[in-house]
Structure 1
Amino acid sequence: MTGPVSGDAGLDTSETAPGVGVLEYLAGDHGGRIISAMHHDHPYEDPAEADDLHRRVAAETGVYPALYSADFLTGRTVPFRANMIDEVIRQWRNGRLVQIMFHVSPPQYTVEQEVEGGWGTDAAADALPGPNRVYSHLPEDRWAELLRDGTELNANWRRRMDEYAGHLKRLDDAGVTVLLRPFHEMNQHVFWWGGRPGPGGTAGLFRMFRRHLEEEWGLHDIVWVWNIQDLPDDYGHLDGDEKFARYRGLAGGIPEYDANDWDSFNPGADAYDVLSVDFYDDEGYSPRRYEQARRIAERDGKPMIIGETFVLPGPDVLRTQPAWALAMPWGERTWLHNTPDAMAAFYRGSIGAADLPRFVASGPAGR
C-alpha cells in the first residue's frame, strides 16, 4: 500500500477526541460546507492504486476527499473484491467515511459466473433478456420468482447475497461503519433491478437484502443508502422514452411507469438511512429536484446527499440548496466535466478528510 501523500496523512483519531457516529454526522450541521467525496471507478488488481483518484484530487487541490466510495462490480474485478475491502478498511482507519456500491450480475447467475459478467451497454441488444451484464432485463415472472422464498432463483440469489455478506462481515469485524448503496438508480429501467415501482419492485429487493444481512449474518453496522436518479419526466413512457420502446410487445417486459414518482421506489423509512439523488440529467441541480428530495428526506427524517454526478455543484447551488450533506463525483470522468478551477473551488470549500471528526462504529445500539 502506498504511503501518505498530500492530503492523505490521516487524522488525529486518538481516543481523547470525542467520537461521532457516521449517520449522526451526516445528519448534523456542517457549518455551511458540503462533505467532499470521490468514487473509485478503477479495478482493484493493484492495491497500491486503490486510491489513485483520491491522491490525484489531493495533488491538484490540496484536499484529500472525505468519503471513499468503492464498488463490488462484476466481471474481471470479482477476484479482487478482497483488495477492495482491504482499501475500505484502510480508509476507515485513516479517519474517512467509506461507501460501497453494488454493480453486480443478474440473480440467475452463480457466484462463479459473476467473473464472466460485465457492464454491457443500455442498447436494446445488450439489455434485453438474459445477458450476464449489469445492463440487463429480468422478465416479470422471473422477478416474482426472485422475491418469493423457496424458488430456485431466490435460493441462487441468497447464495449470491451470502458472498457479498462475507465481504461485509470483514468490515463489521474491523469495526467499520460502511455506507451501503445497493440497487442504485432504482427508477432507471436499463439495470436488471430497476424500473419496478411499488413494494413488490426494486424496493422489495432492497428490503430483502437488508433483512438477509441482518437476520442471517447479524450485520447491523451499515448505513443504508436509498438512491434515485434525476431522470426526465417522460422516462419510463413509450411515447417519450426512446429506450423504453425496447419493452413494447416483449413477453415479460415491464409496464410503463413514472420515474419521477420517487416515492414509488421508496423502500420505507424503516429500511433506509440516507436519501441520495444522482444528477446526470440536463436539467441539473434544479430547485424542483432539490425540493422533491428535501420533502421526502424531511418527512422520513433522513439526511440527503448527492449520490453521483459528473458536474460538481457550484457556489450558487451550495448556497441555495443547503440540505445536501455530501456530493460524490463519478470517478475519472470528473476531470472531463469540470475545469481545474471549478474542482479546486469545490474541494477547497468543502469538508475534506482532514476536517472530519473521529468516527466510532455505531452497531445496533447507535441506530
Structure 2
Amino acid sequence: MKKIIFSVLSLCFVGISCSTGQKIIDTKLSLSDKKSTKELVVFYEKLTHLTEKGILFGHQDDLAYGVNWKCEAGRSDVKEVAGDYPAVYGWDLGGLENKSANNLDGIPFDKMRQYIKEAHQRGGVITLSWHINNPLTGKDAWDTTPKSLASVLPSGEKHEKYKAWLDEGIQFIKTLKDRDGKPIPMLFRPYHELTGNWFWWCRNNGSPEEFKSLWRFTLDYFQKKGIHNLIYVYNTSDFKTKEEFLEYYPGANYADILSFDKYQYTDPLKDNSFVEDCQKQFKIMNEIAQEQHKMMAFAETGYEAIPFDKWWTHTLMKAIGNYKISYVLVWRNHGWQEKEKKMHYYAPFKGQLSEKDFVEFYNLERILFEKDVAGEKRYKK
C-alpha cells in the first residue's frame, strides 16, 4: 500500500496558498511558450508541485509491448510486477518524417495515438522524443555525416525538406486530443543526448551557435504552426562542468525542464562509477536549475536486462540521491534481439531477477506511479 495520498493536491496549485497560508513552490517558474494552452499551464503547475512530493516513474513504450508480448490491450510489464502503471509514458516519433505507418521501433502510429489518449485519460504523463532521420543523407538518426546539422538551418540546403519533416510531427501531435477535444499537455524532448557524438545533431556535428539556432528554430516553428501544448525538455548525456552543460544551451526562454540521460554498463557491485557520475551531474544541473527556476529530470536511464537484483533500491536511488527531480524514465522492454542474440529490456517482468526489489522501489514514499497522481485531476482548474 503506497503511503502517499494526493487527494489534497487539487487544492494546492502553484501560487495558491493551502490552509497553512504558505506558498507551495517558487512562483518564478514559467513556461517558455507564452501562448501555452490553459491546460498546459495547469499541468505544468501541478507537475512542479508533484516534484516537491516525489519522483514520477516512467517507462518507454510501456503499453505497446513487453517481454514476449506485443499490442495486447491493457498489458504492461510494469503493471504486472507492481500492480500499477508507470506515471510517465515515453513515446518516440521517429518514422513520421517518412510518412511511415509505424515508428522506428515498429509501433503503429494509430496505436500510439490510442495508447497516449488512454494513459492521459487515466492521469498519466506523456513524454515524446524523436529519433528523426538525417535530413542531409536520408539515413537514420545515428548517421553523423558532417554538416548534417547545418544543412537544416534557415540558410541550409535541406531547410525546406526539414520543415516538411517537422510538419509531419506537428500534424500527428495535433491529433493527440482529450475527450473534450482539447490538446493533451505533454513533454517534448527534441535533439536528446546532444553532448554525445552518436546522432546527427550532437555536439561533434555542429557548433554551439548552430545547435542553438536549430533548437530555437524548431520551437518557434512548432509554435508558429499552432502547437502550444508542449513542455520542452533540454537533454544532454555526459558533462563534467557547468560550462559544458550550458555550452549548447539555447537559453532559459527556450527550455522548461533540464535533464540528462545516463545508463548503467558495469556491475554495480564492482564499480560505483554510475552512482558517482550521476551525483556529480545532478549537482551541476541542480545549481543551474535553481538559478534559472527550472525543474530537473532523469530523462533516460536503466541497466540492460537488470542483472543486479537490488538495482532499483540500491543503485538507482543512490544515483538520484536527495536531488528533487520531476521524473525518471527507464528504456523499453523489447525482449529478445535476434541480431544481437541477447535480451533487451530495462523494466522487470514477472519472474525477472529484480522483480522483488522493484516492488520495494514502488512502495517507497518518494517514488510515484500512476495511481499516486491519477486522482489529482491535473489537467483541469
Q: Give the total of aligned pairs.
A: 299
Q: Percent of aligned pairs with the same residue?
A: 20
Cα separation, partners in 2 of 1:276 and 1:166, compared to 1, 3 Å: same
Name the one with the larger helix percent. 1
Q: 1:95·1:359 contact (CA, 8 Å) conserved in 2?
A: yes
> What residue is the counterpart of 1:274 in the other structure?
257
- Choose the corresponding residue for 1:65, options 81, 86, 89: 86
Gaps of 5+ in 1: 1-6, 109-129, 234-257, 363-367
Q: 1:197·1:265 contact (CA, 8 Å) conserved in 2?
A: no
> What residue is the counterpart of 1:304 in the other structure?
296
> What residue is the counterpart of 1:223 in the other structure?
231
Cα RMSD after superposing both structures: 3.5
Cα separation, partners in 2 of 1:359 and 1:285, compared to 1, 3 Å: same
What are the superposed Cα offsets for residues 309-346 of structure 1, whole Å, 9 maximum, x if unpaired? Answer: 11466365278323122111112121479722332222
Q: Partners of 2:71 and 2:49 in 1: how far apart? A: 34
1:94 matched to 2:77? The reply is no
Equivalent AA in structure 1 for residue 245 of structure 2:
W
> What residue is the counterpart of 1:143 in the other structure?
149
- Choose the corresponding residue for 2:281, options 269, 289, 297: 289
TM-score normalised to the size of structure 2? 0.68
Cα separation, partners in 2 of 1:185 and 1:342, compared to 1, 3 Å: same
Q: 1:105·1:134 contact (CA, 8 Å) conserved in 2?
A: yes
Q: Partners of 2:70 and 2:172 in 1: how far apart? A: 16
> What residue is the counterpart of 1:83 in the other structure?
111
Q: 1:23·1:273 contact (CA, 8 Å) conserved in 2?
A: no
Measured after TM superposition, the shift of residue 270 of structure 1 is 0.5
Q: 1:226·1:274 contact (CA, 8 Å) conserved in 2?
A: yes
Equivalent AA in structure 2 for residue 275 of structure 1:
L
Cα separation, partners in 2 of 1:321 and 1:134, compared to 1, 3 Å: same
Q: Partners of 2:83 and 2:119 in 1: how far apart? A: 18
Equivalent AA in structure 1 for residue 354 of structure 2:
T
Gaps of 5+ in 2: 14-38, 266-272, 304-310, 334-344
Q: Partners of 1:190 and 1:318 in 2: how far apart? A: 24
1:214 matched to 2:223? The reply is yes
| Stretch moving more, 331-340 or 57-66 | 331-340
> What residue is the counterpart of 1:340 in the other structure?
355
Cα separation, partners in 2 of 1:23 and 1:93, compared to 1, 3 Å: same
| Secondary structure of residue in 2 paired with 1:210 | helix
Measured after TM superposition, the shift of residue 76 of structure 1 is 7.3
> What residue is the counterpart of 1:203 in the other structure?
212
Q: 2:313·2:358 contact (CA, 8 Å) conserved in 1?
A: no
Measured after TM superposition, the shift of residue 21 of structure 1 is 2.4
What are the superposed Cα offsets for residues 263-285 of structure 1, whole Å, 9 maximum, x if unpaired? Answer: 11212111111111112266323
Measured after TM superposition, the shift of residue 134 of structure 1 is 1.8
Q: Partners of 1:281 and 1:138 in 2: how far apart? A: 28
Measured after TM superposition, the shift of residue 30 of structure 1 is 4.6
